[in-house]
Amino acid sequence: MLAYGLEVMLSVEVALYNHRLTTFQEELNNATLREALNLLPSVRGTALLREALYKLHIARLYDRTVKLHHINIGDLILRHTKALARAGEHDKLTENWEGSYKVTASIQLGTYHVETLIGAPIARTWHSSNLRNTIISNFFFIQE
């Protein structure tokens, strides 16, 4: 007797022979296991290749949606503040764009070095998705 008044019952597989038990061949089973282990590196390699192709496909799909806008060297731009903010610092009352900055160099297509209007360089490169062209009239510049 077990707990709660249940009795122990033997499984049918233990008491009777079935097709799987009668046709089992240990040497054949070991040979197929060895063959599966030999094929494991090639299966792993095809899985890695399939993963790389999938990542390339996803990257191409994403890159189709990214729209680069060209900014010329010397253009005045604004910088997006979400690219600067740490988590929790950017809320709905924070300004969306800051600056005026000047583009000094183009590193790659859509990647730029910028500096302040005074001439102090900004430490990192900026992607064109975080930059916006701006037009500032001469009224704002100090005339000498």
Tens of pLDDT along the chain (144 residues) come to 566 766 776 666 566 677 887 888 899 999 999 998 888 888 999 999 999 999 999 999 988 887 777 888 888 999 888 777 766 677 777 788 887 899 999 988 888 999 998 889 988 888 888 888 887 655 555 544
CB-count burial class (<10 Å; 0-12, 13-18, 19+) for 104? middle
pLDDT at position 105: 92
Q: Check if the beta carbon of residue 66 is closer than 8 Å to that of residue 129.
A: yes
Q: With a threshold of 0.75, does the pTM exceed it?
A: no
Q: Can you give the C-alpha Rg of the chain in angstroms?
A: 34
Nearest-angstrom CA–CA distance, 47 and 51: 6
